[in-house]
Every structure is written in structure tokens, then in C-alpha cells.
Amino acid sequence: MDSSNRPVALVTGASSGIGAALARELARHGHDLVLSARHREPMDGLAEELRGSGAAVTVIASDLSVAGATAALVQELAAASLDIDVLVNNAGLGSFGSFDRTDPARHAEIMQVNIVALTELTEMLLPAMLERRRGKVVLVASTASFLPCPNMAVYAASKAYVRSFGEALAQELKDTGVIVNVLCPGATATNFMAVAGGTPSGLQAHRMMSADAVARIGYAGMARGQRVTVTGLLNRLLAFAAIHTPHFVTLPATAKTLARD
């Protein structure tokens, strides 16, 4: 990476979708980038695009579903003398289907990426931010974090962890100069559902947002220092309703919406 005075942002899950869109948005606002995801080839293409806009970009292939991958990623950052000013924990996995019919190995991958790797990477990069008394941590959760989701039980529970962790951490760090923002997208036009083994329901299709729109809203929320950013008016209304409606009402409706088997 070329040396510059631009802040450096690390985006995980940066090969496509919301991660790639967030990388573009960060570059547009004057950040250099470190892109990390399982697959290097799409990140190489994105890196060339971002370099064309004036950003310095480093690409690090890393499979965060593997134990120890976060430590190896941080070691690569140190070896390249990269100090991270903005950490975007975007990498995430999901799965549609009832708990008992889902491969336990998939559940393990979801928990490793969505919970363990996210927590470890925050834990490893936070001390330097605190020492400099500046930095930003973005944790990508989901509107699924606001209620239990039958047929996506482990995914929704993992995102509830992300939101709870992020909100608590934001309070702990409120006087340190480090901002923590939890980004909660709803249904987004990415390959997430296809990889997770599902297709959008009617409601999900109706509130589907582009990854670029999610990234713009997410960056604005981070820049304002928001604790939680829910993307889009309809998603905000649904999140509010999920919090204030009894589970005996929301659980059957959610199960029907997410039914895949």
C-alpha cells in the first residue's frame, strides 16, 4: 500500500454485496482500504477500481470460518505496517431452513464468522484505536437481530449477539474517541439469500434495497456517530414493531415468512 495521510479502513466480506459497496463508499470519502474475504479474485477487481479513484488498496484473502484466521489476518496487517482507523466487520454467513434439518457444520461456520471472528477482530484492533484516542468500528448486524427468526434460528441469534455486543461496546467507549456503530440492513439485493439457500418472500422483495443504498446510509450513520443504523424507513418501522410486539404474535408470522422446507 502506498503511504498517505488518508485513514485506512479494513472491510471484511469485501468481495461482493454490502462489503464491496461499503468499500466503495469509504474510498469515495477519502479512505484507503484493506479488503478481506475468502475469494481473492473479485477483490482484485474491486481493488483496481478503487485505485482508479485514488485510494491505496491492499487485498488479503482470509477465510474467517477457520479458527485462527483473525490472528493471521492481524499479523498480515502488522507485517504490512497498516494501522487500521476504521474496522468494518461485515463478513457474515446465513442459512435458511429448520434447525434440525440444517447441517451442524453450517451452524458452526455461521457462529465462527458472525460471532467469534467478529469479536476477535474487534478485540485485536481496538487497543491501537484506544491508544490513539480515535477510530471507528462498524459491526454489520441485520434487522433479524430484533426478533427470533424461526427457520433462520442460528443466523438471527448470531445477529442479535452482534447488535447487543455493539451497543454495549459503544456505551463502554463513549468517552474514548472510538465510535462503535451497528449497521442493521434489511433484505438487500446481494447473493446472500442464494448462498444461504433461500429466496426472498413477498415482504422481503417489497423492502429490498440495493447494496449501494445500504452502504450510503451505513456510512452516514457511522460518520454521525450513531449507535445503531437501520437502513430504510420500512425496515425501521419493522424493527420498532419487532421490539414492541409480543413474541407470540411475531414468531408465527416470522416462521411463515421464512418457511423454506
Is 155 a residue of the active site?
Answer: yes
| CA angle 175–143–169, rounded 5-degree value | 20
Nearest to 217 by CA among 208, 207, 226: 226
Across the beta sheet with 32-37, what order do the strands follow? 57-61, 32-37, 8-12, 86-89, 135-140, 178-184, 228-230
Report d(CA 78, CA 74) in Å as an integer. Answer: 6
Catalytic, out of 155, 161, 165, 192: 155
Contact indicator for 121, 53 with CB cutoff of 8 Å: no
Contact indicator for 144, 152 with CB cutoff of 8 Å: yes
Query: Which residues are part of the catalytic machinery?
Result: 155
